A and B are shown apart, each in its own frame.
Chain A
Amino acid sequence: MQKHGIENNIRKLRFEQDEMTQQQLAESVKVTRQTIVAIEKGKYSPSLELAFKIAQVFNRPLEEVFTYNPK
């Protein structure tokens, strides 16, 4: 369930990056694995800074990683 109307493709992008683990992504952007889990499940909307860092890890523009769909 997307709690804030912000959806993301992190799971898909991790898969495309040689099945990058949540732990590896968490370490790359300096957050806990639980935060990555919460973002993937749509239970937490990351700060703009963290969103950019995640996009940078996948080498994609922000809007390819996160999309805003207000209900």
Chain B
Amino acid sequence: MDYQEKKSIVNILSTVIVLGIYYWTVFQRFDAEVMNTEAQLQFWAKAILIAIPISIGTKIVTIILFVIGNFIVSREKHPTFEDERDKLIELKATRNSYIIFGMGFLSALIVLAFGYPPKYMFIAFILAGISSEIFDNLSRLYYHRKGV
């Protein structure tokens, strides 16, 4: 398994673990409180806004830990540059993740259009965000392994 493949797997695991724990606590808090629609909207907007720096921080910490851990285990250094194949893989992975996020966004609107409470719309947004992140890394893994 090469460096980029390992990095994608580590990114998927860290996204699932950190965002999974974060949103689990958010849902616990949401279920514990009684709120009107306006307060619900504010609650979910805050929850998603807080998730953004958490997600960025997780990525940074994961990369640092991965680079150090991987160097200790395999003596493999972090690549200092990206070549044309890396850029092409990144472009295709980003395209795939946008498609997944777009579908999630559409699902959120459909949920709202069918008259479900705003909670479900935000759940769809959150799932779209997490799945697009996972799909991005899965795509990288796939293209590195199977070719691009």
Chain A residues close to B by CB (< 8 Å): 3, 30-32, 34-35, 38, 41-44, 46-47, 50
Nearest CB of A to B89, in Å: 9
**B85 sits at the interface (CB 8 A):** yes
Chain B residues close to A by CB (< 8 Å): 2-4, 79, 81, 83-86, 144, 146-148
| Contact residues in A for B79 (Cβ distance below 8 Å) | 32
| Contact residues in A for B3 (Cβ distance below 8 Å) | 34
A42 to B84, CA, bound (A): 16
| Contact residues in B for A34 (Cβ distance below 8 Å) | 2-4, 85, 144
Q: Are B85 and A38 in contact (CB under 8 A)?
A: yes
A interface secondary structure, majority: loop
Nearest CB of A to B5, in Å: 9
A16 to B86, CA, bound (A): 28
A44 to B148, CA, bound (A): 6
The CB with the most chain A CB atoms within 10 A, among B4, B79, B84, B85, is that of: B85
| Contact residues in B for A30 (Cβ distance below 8 Å) | 81, 83
A50 to B85, CA, bound (A): 11
- B145 — nearest CB in chain A belongs to which residue? A43
A3 to B85, CA, bound (A): 15
- Give the top 4 A-B pairs by smallest Cβ distance, nearest first: A43-B147, A31-B83, A35-B85, A3-B147
Assuming the A-B contacts A38-B147, A43-B146, A43-B148, are A31 and B84 also in contact, with contact meaning beta carbons closer than 8 angstroms in the complex? yes
Q: List 18 A-B contacts (CB under 8 A).
A: A3-B147, A30-B81, A32-B79, A32-B85, A32-B86, A34-B2, A34-B4, A34-B85, A34-B144, A35-B85, A35-B86, A38-B85, A38-B147, A44-B85, A46-B84, A46-B85, A47-B84, A50-B84
A50 to B81, CA, bound (A): 16
| Contact residues in A for B2 (Cβ distance below 8 Å) | 34
Nearest CB of B to A60, in Å: 21
